[in-house]
A and B are shown apart, each in its own frame.
Chain A
Amino acid sequence: DQQVKQNSPSLSVQEGRISILNCDYTNSMFDYFLWYKKYPAEGPTFLISISSIKDKNEDGRFTVFLNKSAKHLSLHIVPSQPGDSAVYFCAASLIQGAQKLVFGQGTRLTINP
C-alpha cells in the first residue's frame, strides 16, 4: 500500500525552463511534507518543505505547492539548471518530527543544456 506516490519515474527539461515534479498521497492525516534531492552514491539532502496548514512555500528557485483536497503536492524549479539533475523524493510525516517519513518512489530529473 503505497501511501506516497510519484507516478513519473523520470522527467527531462531544458535548461532555463521550469521543472514540475508531482507527488500524490492517500493518507489525509499527513501533517508535513518534504522534498529531498539525491545524487548518485550520496544520501538524500533536504530541499524544501511545507506544513499542511499552508498551500505554498517558496525558497529561491524552489516552490512547493500543496493541494490538500486533491492530496497532491508539486515542486517547481525555475529556472532549471544542470546541477538540478538528480533524483527527487517527496516524503510525508504523520506525526511531529521527521523520524518516521514515508517516501515516494522518486523522480529522476535530467536538465538538458
Chain B
Amino acid sequence: NAGVTQTPKFQVLKTGQSMTLQCAQDMNHEYMSWYRQDPGMGLRLIHYSVGAGITDQGEVPNGYNVSRSTTEDFPLRLLSAAPSQTSVYFCASSYPNSDTEAFFGQGTRLTVV
C-alpha cells in the first residue's frame, strides 16, 4: 500500500525557474492538501482540494498554483521560484469525514538558489 507518494524527494532550482511537485495517493481520498515546513515553524497550508476540479487557497498560497483533474493526483506548481520558497513540502490526503486524520507523504526538500 503506497499511501501518499511525492516526487521528487530533493530538488535544487535557480531563482526564476518553474517546476511541479508531484503528489499521488492510492487511498481514494477526496481531500488533498499541500503544506510547507520551515525551520522553527509548524506546517503551513498552501492550497487544498475537496475533490476533482475544486481547489482553494490556504494560509500561504502566493507563488504557488494547483489543479486537481483526478482524485489521485494533486500537483503543486511553482511558476517562478524565489529563495523564500526554499522549504520542505508535504502533501496530505484524507477522507471527507469529521474526526479523521490526514495521511502525509515523505516530503520534497526544495532549495532555491
Residues of chain A touching chain B, judged by Cβ–Cβ distance below 8 Å, are: 4, 6, 9, 31-32, 34, 36, 41-46, 49, 51, 89, 91, 96-106
Contact = CB atoms under 8 A, between A and B. Distances in A.
Contacts, number: 80
B44 A43 contact: no
A49 B94 CA distance: 14
B85 interface: no
Nearest to B58: A100
Contact of A51 (B35, B99, B104, B107): B99
Given A97-B50, A103-B42, A106-B42, 11 more contacts: A32-B99, A34-B102, A36-B104, A44-B43, A44-B90, A99-B33, A99-B48, A99-B94, A101-B43, A103-B44, A105-B40
